[in-house]
């Protein structure tokens, strides 16, 4: 796996799991530079909105619309409706998805709105989630509103 | 205007504006009780994800999926793609919208996913936003990614 940005997102996911949380990570990339990174905070901060992508966007801070429209959002997992919606709100034109085997967000809808969604299906991303879901199915279901 | 829940959302919006923020408020209602409330926190907390509905959901805390599926989400303004997505993620079946004259989120898509979206077009909600947008157009554009 050669994509350094997806690698950084995986590092975020691992950091989250190491803290007892859900192993999903995300980075925001602008002109080849990481300008935000984050991971799911449901366990760590009792948050229902800090999914990895949301936490990443929040950590990137307040940015002009112009910047978002030049960004690529990386996530280890296919973005859920909320995180997909955040990308649409800010006009982020491209999302690189580590995997969509263990969960699939509204990719077709996101694409229909003009966003490029690239699915890597990286074995490390899949393994991280498969292990986590097997270990904590109830927590996982809570995170996706099941 | 006779809906006490929309009235509570308007109170949140006013609280936000009084603190120098963006006047959008939201409440989450379960079985006729308000279980969460909040308002936009872009200015107050430098947040790009705490739109009113998101702040309301976060303040409601971690809830079982079953509860969300019995809730009504009130917002003074038509929910943007991010907030609409949050409602979809958690399977909230009904959204009551104060107004969609000054901004319109993806209502058709939300409805296509089985959610009831009720538009009130309350004059107070419209007035709050019209006044704010006239006063702070740049801030407003930032909040909707323009």
Kindly state the average pLDDT of the residues A121-125.
Answer: 98
Cα B137 from Cα B39, distance rounded (Å)? 19
Q: Who contacts B126 (Cβ-Cβ below 8 Å, separation ≥6)? A: B99, B101, B102
| Closest CB from B68, B85, B141 relative to A82 | B85
User: Inter-chain contact B46–A61, Cβ cutoff 8 Å?
Assistant: yes
Does residue A43 contact residue A20 with C-beta atoms inside 8 Å? yes
pLDDT band at B7 (very low <50, low <70, confident <90, very high): very high
Residues 73-132 of chain A with CB under 8 A from chain B are 80-86, 88-91, 106, 109
pLDDT band at A19 (very low <50, low <70, confident <90, very high): very high
Does residue A89 contact residue A67 with C-beta atoms inside 8 Å? no
Chain B contacts of A60, Cβ < 8 Å? Answer: 48
pLDDT in tens, B107-134: 999 999 999 999 999 999 999 999 999 9
Cα A120 from Cα B144, distance rounded (Å)? 30
Is the pLDDT reported for residue A139 higher than 90? yes
Looking at every residue in chain A, the average pLDDT score rounds to 97
User: Inter-chain contact A47–B57, Cβ cutoff 8 Å?
Assistant: no
Chain B contacts of A68, Cβ < 8 Å? Answer: 145
User: Inter-chain contact B145–A89, Cβ cutoff 8 Å?
Assistant: yes
The confidence score (pLDDT) of residue A92 equals 98
Tokens of residue A43, six digits: 């366990």
A24 touches chain B (CB under 8 A): no
Is the pLDDT reported for residue A124 higher than 80? yes
pLDDT in tens, A75-99: 999 999 999 999 999 999 999 999 9
E strands in A25-65 = 25-30, 33-39
List residues of A with catalytic annotation: 53
Q: DSSP state, A62? A: S
Cα B36 from Cα B66, distance rounded (Å)? 16
Query: B52-60 vs B4-18: helix axis angle to the nearest 10?
Result: 110
Tokens of residue A63, six digits: 């940015």
User: Inter-chain contact A54–B49, Cβ cutoff 8 Å?
Assistant: yes
pLDDT in tens, A99-111: 999 999 999 999 9
Residue among B69, B85, B78, B125 nearest B105 (CA): B78
Greatest CA separation found in chain B? 41
Q: How far is A1 from chain B (nearest CA, A)?
A: 30
Residue among A133, A71, A80 nearest A102 (CA): A133
User: Inter-chain contact A81–B65, Cβ cutoff 8 Å?
Assistant: no
pLDDT band at B1 (very low <50, low <70, confident <90, very high): very low
Does residue A59 contact residue A35 with C-beta atoms inside 8 Å? no
Kindly state the average pLDDT of the residues B41-67.
Answer: 98
The confidence score (pLDDT) of residue A2 equals 57
Secondary structure (DSSP) of A13-30: HHHHHHTTS---EEEEEE
CA distances from B127 to A95, B13, B100, B121, B134 (A): 37, 12, 12, 10, 11
ipTM at complex level: 0.97
Average the pLDDT over each of A1-10, A45-54, B36-45 and give the range with the smallest value: A1-10
Is the pLDDT reported for residue A1 higher than 60? no
A71: which strand partners?
A: A30
The confidence score (pLDDT) of residue B2 equals 57
Chain A contacts of B49, Cβ < 8 Å? Answer: 49-50, 54, 57-58, 86
């Amino acid at each position: 796996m050669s994509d350094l940005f997806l690698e950084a997102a995986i590092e975020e996911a691992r950091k989250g799991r190491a803290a007892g949380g859900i192993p999903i990570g995300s980075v925001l990339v602008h002109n080849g530079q990481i300008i935000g990174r984050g991971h799911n905070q449901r366990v760590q901060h009792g948050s229902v909105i800090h999914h990895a992508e949301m936490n990443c966007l929040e950590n990137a801070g307040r940015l002009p619309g112009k910047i978002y429209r030049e960004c690529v959002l990386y996530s280890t997992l296919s973005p859920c409706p909320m995180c997909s919606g955040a990308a649409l709100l800010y006009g982020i034109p491209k999302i690189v998805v580590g995997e969509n085997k263990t969960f699939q967000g509204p990719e077709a809808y996101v694409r229909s709105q003009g966003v490029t969604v690239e699915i890597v299906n990286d074995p490390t991303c899949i393994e991280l989630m498969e292990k986590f879901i097997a270990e904590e199915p109830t927590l996982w279901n809570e995170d996706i509103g099941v």
